[in-house]
Amino acid sequence: MLAWNPSNLLPVLIDNIDTGIFVLDTEFNVVLWNRFMVSHSGKHSTDVIGHNIFDMFPELPKKWFEKKIQSVLLLKNFSFTSWEQRPWLFPFAHNRPITGGIDYMQQNCVLMPLENPSTQEIEFISVVIFDVTDTALYQKQLSEALNELEQTSITDGLTRIYNRRHLQASFNLEFSRANRHKFPLSMIMFDLDHFKKINDTYGHPGGDEVLREVAKRVKPLVRTEDVFGRYGGEEFCVLMPDTTLEGAIAVAERIRSVLQSVPVQFGNLHIAMSASLGVSTLTSEIRTHQELLQLADESLYDAKHNGRNCVSSRQMPVNSSPA
């Protein structure tokens, strides 16, 4: 029996600490294997010590782990791995069998070169494994919550397309981008015809269904780089970067056509709808994104005035001098 003194506390500590510790020689043979490793791997230290780690654990990512160890030997430097890039080294069970929702214990590892003080050669590499499953779960929950928050803050609750806030932020961004690089930028504003009458006839649930249907039908007609959103009420907007007036008018015509093509199914009822559309495009006379928006609004007014269910466009008069 060993005398109980500070010099032999260390092996006891290494064995009892709730962290995986093992040591390899330069041929990848195991020379130390602490109790954490025993209980999680199910392999006792006497079975493992003296054997090549890859023979004992064929499930290890061999190529990657070998490369990692080579770099520790070559550079005589610490090396680290994080669960965020590589979730685990050993496929250990985690301590959240019920509440987990992940496959294995999430692990951070530290690889440490152990230098022989007399020869200054690296003879061993120690690997320390930290169980970071809890941290990983919190992080996962947090980023999911943040994602959801981000989505809801820019999405219109009814139609699931962008909301007015995001449209306005996009106006700002796209306007300055187009201005700086002299890219074309066009915009479609459209408004459902006689929407009040739909609401009066079919009730608000009917009106809501029509609005949802508009989003559904228009979405496939716009490109990913376009910003399509609900501006408010029954008014919608498509912001189209790198698009000329002609291009935007063509898209507007397609939108008009798809909206009035077939009535909206609402229970057993069929609700007919159509829209009036106004198109504007960025020219050198336009100085702010509000002017572009106003121009689209005025075109929309023209479309209403011209009998609805049609597309109108306006360009800024060359000699105009806005207040």
Partner 1 sequence: MTKKILTSDQRDALQEVTNIAMGQAGASLAQVLGEFVQLSVPQINVIELEEINQALAMLVGATTVVSAVRQAFTGALRGEAVAIFDQEGCIELAELMGYEKELTPKAEQELMLDVANVLIGACIKGITKLLQTDITFSPPSVMAKNMPIGQLMHPSTMEWKLALVTEVNFALEKGRFTCHLTQFWPESSIVSLAEALDKFIESF
Give the span between the Cα atoms of 83 and 93, in whole angstroms: 15
Q: Which of 54, 80, 138, 183 binds partner 1 (CB under 8 A)?
A: 80
H or E, element range at 235: strand 235-241
Nearer to partner 1, 72 or 187 (CB): 72
Q: Which of 29, 45, 52, 82 binds partner 1 (CB under 8 A)?
A: 82
In DSSP terms, 24 is beta-bridged to 30, 125
Give the span between the Cα atoms of 228 and 225, in whole angstroms: 9
Nearer to partner 1, 55 or 138 (CB): 138
Q: Which of 11, 55, 61, 84 binds partner 1 (CB under 8 A)?
A: 84
What residues between 87 and 126 interact with partner 1 by CB under 8 A?
Answer: 108, 110
- Six-digit token string for 269: 């009822």
H or E, element range at 322: none
183 binds partner 1 (CB under 8 A): no
In one-letter notation, the amino acid at residue 78 is F
Nearer to partner 1, 86 or 304 (CB): 86
Nearer to partner 1, 64 or 272 (CB): 64
Enter the DSSP assignment of 284.
T
Q: Which of 85, 99, 120, 321 binds partner 1 (CB under 8 A)?
A: 85
**Distance in Å, CB of 320 to partner 1, minimum:** 36
**Distance in Å, CB of 31 to partner 1, minimum:** 23
Nearer to partner 1, 102 or 258 (CB): 102
**Distance in Å, CB of 86 to partner 1, minimum:** 7
280 binds partner 1 (CB under 8 A): no
**Distance in Å, CB of 101 to partner 1, minimum:** 19
Please identify which of the residues 174, 209, 234, 291 carries the catalytic annotation: 234
**CA–CA distance from 11 to each of 7, 127, 245, 251 (Å)?**
9, 16, 77, 74
What x-and-dash track marks residues 47-76 binding partner 1 by CB under 8 A? Answer: ------------------------x--xxx
**Distance in Å, CB of 25 to partner 1, minimum:** 22
| Residue 234: active-site member | yes
Q: Which of 54, 78, 138, 183 binds partner 1 (CB under 8 A)?
A: 78
Enter the DSSP assignment of 104.
S
304 binds partner 1 (CB under 8 A): no
What x-and-dash track marks residues 227-266 binding partner 1 by CB under 8 A? Answer: ----------------------------------------
Name which of 197, 203, 206 is nearest 270 in CA terms.
Answer: 206
Long-range contacts of 135-139 (CB under 8 A, 24+ apart): 135/83, 135/106, 136/83, 136/87, 136/102, 136/106, 137/96, 137/99, 137/100, 137/101, 137/102, 137/106, 139/84
**Distance in Å, CB of 80 to partner 1, minimum:** 4
Of the chain, the end-to-end C-alpha distance in Å amounts to 96
- Nearby residues of 203 by Cβ (< 8 Å), 6 or more positions away: none
Question: How is 296-314 classified by DSSP, letter by letter?
Answer: HHHHHHHHHHTTSSSEEE-
Q: Which residues bind partner 1 (CB under 8 A)?
A: 71, 74-82, 84-86, 108, 110
The catalytic residue positions are 234
